[in-house]
Amino acid sequence: MTRPKVHRIVTGAFGLLFVALAIAILAVSERTAGPLVAAAGVGFLGIDAVLSAFRGKPSVLSRIGPLP
């Protein structure tokens, strides 16, 4: 596999992980503002990563840069 293809697969996999995490947050949390905002943010980042993997463009997560 070429390096860009592997990068797209990894980006898509992390996106799906973030979407699953957002669903899990909604499933186990009380419907208060904090968990809903967290689930919306994590879900947005996950959906963006999946769409970016399909489009072959950088996602918002990749633009943030390396985190400590």
The fraction of the chain above a pLDDT of 90, given in percent, is 72
The residue segments making up the domain with residue 35 are: 10-60
5 belongs to a structural domain:
no
pLDDT band at 68, cuts 50/70/90?
Answer: low
- Overall domain count for the chain: 1
65 belongs to a structural domain:
no
- Global pTM? 0.86
**Residue 57: CB atoms within 10 Å:** 11
The average confidence (pLDDT) of the chain is 91
Q: How long a stretch of residues is the chain? A: 68
27 belongs to a structural domain:
yes
47 belongs to a structural domain:
yes
1 belongs to a structural domain:
no
pLDDT tens-digit map of 24-57: 999 999 889 999 999 999 999 999 999 999 999 9
User: Cα–Cα distance between 49 and 44 in angstroms, integer?
Assistant: 9
